[in-house]
Structure 1
Amino acid sequence: MSGDEGLFISAKVQDTPMSLLVDTGISVTILSVKSLKSINPCKHTKITPVNTKLVTATGTTSSFIGQTRVEIQIDQHKFYHDVFVADINNDVMLGIDFLTANKCEVLLSKSCLDVQGGKIPYFRYSSEVSACCRISVTENVVVPPGTKMIVPGRSTGHVNKCAALLEPTNTFVEKQGLMIARSLVNPSKGIVPLRILNLQDEPCKIYKNTIAATCEPVNDSDIEEKPNNKKIPQCVYVQT
């Protein structure tokens, strides 16, 4: 299996956003060297040398760099788990040890991972998904009639750039009858703000994990800061 294949979930390791490959074919959980280096140095934990060997799908073996204990946050759940560190392509490979210890169930028919009762949607890590990811609502929300509110969302994929253009999906707008503001966001922060407006005469309930918008990376050259005549923070515009 290549680094682009399989089912992934979005999570945080030591407070750093990462894509976790859910792999029931491995017995241990593995953190990549590159992901370890991306973690804030002040959050690094001690790495203990191990004699265990990593056996790849092709049958070749290589040594683990060591083992360390990290905090893994999936949705609102935080777990502390011992992971092996190795030079792999994926950010993290979530093995049977983690899934069993934390009562996680792989629900292929529903395309999600059940984490202690919470449903975490999978995404496929491909060139198409990494270029444009979906944003889901993190909790059940009721938007009153004639009201504008900010609803927390999260990325169900991985965007390599910090700046991304958020746009509502046609399905969400047509089904819910709500409007979502087009905006520039940073999906790597974990929580993505959704500015939602309900122009209807009735309240509208949005259920947790509903896909509401998409995020597409924006090049730095496409962003310009346009100063305002008043002395207030500059407004950010996106060239389209």
Structure 2
Amino acid sequence: MGQADFNIKINDKIWKQRFVIAEIDAPAIIGYNFLYSKNCKLDIRHSKLTIEDFEIVCQKESQMSSIFKIASEQNVILPPNSETIIMSKVLGDSSHLMDAMIEPIMKQDNEILVARALVDPSNGRIPLRIANLTSFESTLYKSTCLAECHLCDNILEIENTERTSRKVFKIKDSKADEVPEHLVTLFKNSISNLTEEQRIQLKGVLKRQAEAFANSKNELGSTA
């Protein structure tokens, strides 16, 4: 689609690099020309990339968290019977996510509601729509956990019929019989000695009990 020069920031060090713009899933790929010019060394065994005089620990995409907690950045007063947009922070490094879905974690009977939304959490901050359905003022305190941010990789850009500069997106239909994303690896590692009927039964158990499994290490608690 073309070329453009961008600044690359890695470990607080910045380089300018020319990129080829293409319709690919990855937000950016560092190519051979950058690796060669910066005398990069890739150590596959120890999962390290050396750029000039410092090392970066590499991580497989499959090992990166795809679910993050979302918390309020500061104390916010919510007027009664109103809706407010507040800024929230992502708890963890979500820089590898481009499209994600906000999922409320408060109970359905709670009178403070968080709206679902499609967001870009890559910079660590997300605007949230909060509704106070009560007849009295309510306070959200700093660092209150309000929602979860889930990776959403089934986003499809559609034609904008309104002819505005804004992009229009929709979520592709998902297959009802699929194993929940955070249990796919567990399912694959468990079916080698199972019959087809047993595999179907296992898939059903995992789908029904999906909430019993942590979506990521950030969900794991602790015991005293």
> What TM-score do the two structures reach when normalised by structure 1?
0.46
Computing the radius of gyration from Cα coordinates, the structure with the larger value is 2
Name the structure, 1 or 2, with higher relative contact order (CA <8 Å, separation 6+): 1
More strand by share: 1
TM-score (norm 2): 0.49
